[in-house]
Structure 1
Amino acid sequence: MHSNDLAQLPLRQRIKARAERLFGAWGVFAKGFVKHPVMVGSIVPSSDRTIRKMLAPVPWQTVELFVEYGPGVGTFCRPVLDKLPRNATYIAIDTNPDFIRYLRKTIPDSRFIAVHGSAADVEAIIAQHGFAHADYVLSGLPLSTLPGNVADEIAQATHRALRPGGAFLVYQFNTFTNQLIRPYFDRVDRGYEFWNVLPCHLFWGWKADSETTAKRSHH
């Protein structure tokens, strides 16, 4: 059932679902931040302007699999689902079981799959759902504060998981991502959104398509 099919639910369920979306999200998000501040990164969800700018380069009509790391309470989920083709799939991966339960409960869309797991395991996760590669991967994980080599493992796994020509979309409060993903991605575009709490750095890491790779191999 798609997100706009909420209207088909009984009135009591519709009211409850809308109330949870309106008020419950803040409570769940704040709880997640208090329990796992290193993994959540911010107590305030991204602004609408950040969402629009981050997703703007995606050619939605070509997307078959969209993946998100650290979806939280779904700040990006509904805007993505509004743009995603009807036959596409959206896999959201989070290590916080509270967020996963909340997403499963509040997003009744057959295209949407909420997975309790680690972004570093993205290849195995998408394979479990019948995909060889993702078209685009979005991340709001606070990469600079992740322990050990986890951030680098995520960057490498994401590059392998993406199809040629796909992209890693990252929004952060610092510029650490630039140095993290440049060794793995053919091109990194950068942006900035002031109207966000806090102001946000945006990155789009593009994986070379096969044609570009072939041309470079002959030089």
Structure 2
Amino acid sequence: MTSTELAREALPQKIKQTIKRSLGPWGVFLEGFMRHPVMVGSIIPSSRFTINRMLKPVDWANCKLFVEYGPGVGTFCRPVLDRLPRDGQLIVIDTNPLFIEYLRKTISDSRFIAVHGSASDVEEIVRAHGHEKADYVLSGLPFSTLPDGIGPAIAAATHRVIRKGGAFLVYQFTPKARSYMARHFQRIDDALEPINVPPCFLWWGWKDEDED
């Protein structure tokens, strides 16, 4: 291959990188969606209305470990870190290495840990970082498109890892995730956030003190 042919072949890649840099985190999010649409779920990050409403019930003063599944480019990460106590920790878990690499490069907070892995392994991941239980777990994973058996496994593992008094916070575009949650969480609060693209369901599955 001649130098001219190599240059022509590299040109689309250069254009792609230029567009990606100009879009910033939106470019990374778009690329992640294009590579793994089944795991990302939406082409547009959550609105600030969804973020604020989803996080409002959290008892931040008593939150030592907050876990997030599928953080993407950190749409929730920074609001969580803004609210988290100084001695708290945020662990995010994603199967997409593109997102994990981006988060590690852009979030320097010592309370923040980005893990390339599966949410179904949350118990092992939490223990590996010195914790027995999580106070809250947040998920925007598209449960309706996950491979068979993965959604129920994640819901079960999440219930086990959350401390009594904690909660599983879920935002989705379809109601399927709620059926998985209901197998384990006796009390689930529901809401709908219309100012989001698209509008999304919000659920808070509480692990009450009297639960096993």
**What's the TM-score once normalised by structure 1's chain length?**
0.86
Tell me the matched-pair count.
193
* Offset from partner CA, 1:74-100 (integer Å, 9 cap, x none): 000000000000010000000000000
The 5 A counterparts of 1:170-209 are 170-209=170-209
Distance 2:42 2:176 in 1: 16
The alpha carbon displacement at 1:113 in A equals 0.2
* Offset from partner CA, 1:42-96 (integer Å, 9 cap, x none): 0100000000000000010100000000000000000000000001000000000
Distance 2:116 2:134 in 1: 18
Distance 2:186 2:90 in 1: 24
The 5 A counterparts of 1:1-219 are 23-209=23-209, 212-213=210-211
Distance 2:153 2:176 in 1: 15
8 Å contact from structure 2 (residues 21, 27) kept in 1: no
Amino acid across the alignment from 1:145: T
8 Å contact from structure 1 (residues 177, 203) kept in 2: no
Distance 1:125 1:148 in 2: 22
8 Å contact from structure 1 (residues 21, 106) kept in 2: no
**What's the TM-score once normalised by structure 2's chain length?**
0.88
Distance 1:188 1:137 in 2: 14
* Offset from partner CA, 1:146-191 (integer Å, 9 cap, x none): 0110000000000000001110000000111221110101201001
8 Å contact from structure 1 (residues 170, 204) kept in 2: yes
- Structure 1 residues 21 and 155: CA distance shift in structure 2, 3 A: farther
Distance 1:118 1:105 in 2: 20
Unaligned runs of at least 5 residues, structure 1: 1-19, 215-219
Greater C-alpha Rg: 2
Task: Name the counterpart of 2:8.
Answer: none
Among all aligned residue pairs of Structure 1 and Structure 2, give the percentage whose two residues are the same amino acid.
Answer: 62
Task: Name the counterpart of 1:217.
Answer: none
Q: CA RMSD in A?
A: 1.5
Deviates more, 1:174-183 or 1:31-40: 174-183
Amino acid across the alignment from 1:196: N
The alpha carbon displacement at 1:21 in A equals 10
Secondary structure of the equivalent of 2:44? coil
Task: Name the counterpart of 2:7.
Answer: none
The alpha carbon displacement at 1:22 in A equals 8.6
- Structure 1 residues 108 and 201: CA distance shift in structure 2, 3 A: same
8 Å contact from structure 1 (residues 64, 89) kept in 2: yes
The alpha carbon displacement at 1:208 in A equals 1.9
* Offset from partner CA, 1:17-50 (integer Å, 9 cap, x none): xxx9994211110001000000000010000000
8 Å contact from structure 1 (residues 187, 207) kept in 2: yes
Distance 1:62 1:21 in 2: 39
